[in-house]
Amino acid sequence: MRRILAIDDDVELCELLAAFFSGEGFDFHAVHDGPAGIHEALSGNYDAVILDVMLPGCNGFEVLREIRSKSRMPVLMLTAKGEHVDRIVGLEMGADDYVPKPFNTRELAARVRAVLRRTETSSGDGGTVEIGDLLLDTKSRSVSIAGKPVELTGTEFRMLELLMVSAGELLSLDRISREVLGRRHSPFDRSIGVHVSNLRRKIGTYPDESDRIRNVRGEGYVFVYPDRPESVKEREPE
């Protein structure tokens, strides 16, 4: 049974979610303020966190920062409808996904299942992918540059893995969204761009300062080889 922690000060909502998630086969627990949320999230007793932005004690971003400083556990942010800034900030800080309020409980459960499935499933056969000085190990789920470890969230790791195993190939935004986020791409969803921006910041450029990940505006992204920066395979038909 997968263990889910909700950090939300809406007690009535948490009670409704507890009843729904329990019926869906989850072990569901909720706390209602930021400090308690940090303590529970870092206890090692949960597989994923559903985190609201507005919390007493400390807000959801502070809670997320504390979680990410010590754990790669999946975190789904709950944001107010129309608060695009909150969604972007949450993703930039390492949230794996977000769900705007008000939400459909079945959609929330589907998002939770998707992020757990992607976290638990290793897409490789225990090997490594190495391009230039960047090494990705699919068995240990680790990344290093010139031997120095790089800390990535689960979503960032999956995105980098997809880009590296398809190096030289232009990956459409919809394919990246489906394989990394578990949903079709929406023109108004900036999640992919934020995750790629986080990746670029963490893995930097090649030693000659050329980009590792190149954006083809409106189309998608490609991981380029250090000696072939302009080599891009034709995009596969949708």
The pLDDT tens digits of the residues spanning 206-226 come to 999 999 999 998 889 999 988
* pLDDT-based confidence at residue 236 (cuts at 50, 70, 90): very low
State how far Cα 158 lies from the chain centre: 8
Percent of the chain with pLDDT over 70: 91
Domains of the chain: 3-120 (3.40.50.2300), 128-223 (1.10.10.10)
Residue 120's pLDDT is what?
A: 66
* Number of other CB atoms surrounding residue 160 within 10 Å: 25
State how far Cα 63 lies from the chain centre: 16
Residues contacting residue 169 through CB under 8 Å, at least 6 positions apart = 222, 232, 233, 235, 236
Per-residue pLDDT tens digits for 180-212: 888 888 888 889 999 999 999 999 999 999 999
Q: The pTM is what?
A: 0.70
Asked if pLDDT for residue 4 goes beyond 90, the answer is yes
* pLDDT-based confidence at residue 72 (cuts at 50, 70, 90): confident
Residue 151's pLDDT is what?
A: 92
State how far Cα 62 lies from the chain centre: 17
* pLDDT-based confidence at residue 114 (cuts at 50, 70, 90): confident
- Which whole number is the average pLDDT over 73-97? 88
Q: For residue 27, what are its two tokens?
A: 């072990």
* pLDDT-based confidence at residue 126 (cuts at 50, 70, 90): low
Residue 148's pLDDT is what?
A: 95
Q: For residue 175, what are its two tokens?
A: 């394919």
Residue 138's pLDDT is what?
A: 85
Per-residue pLDDT tens digits for 18-35: 999 999 999 999 999 999
Q: Which residue has the higher pLDDT, 126 or 58?
A: 58
Find, among 230, 231, 235, 232, the residue nearest to 219 by Cα.
235
Q: Which residue has the higher pLDDT, 228 or 170?
A: 170
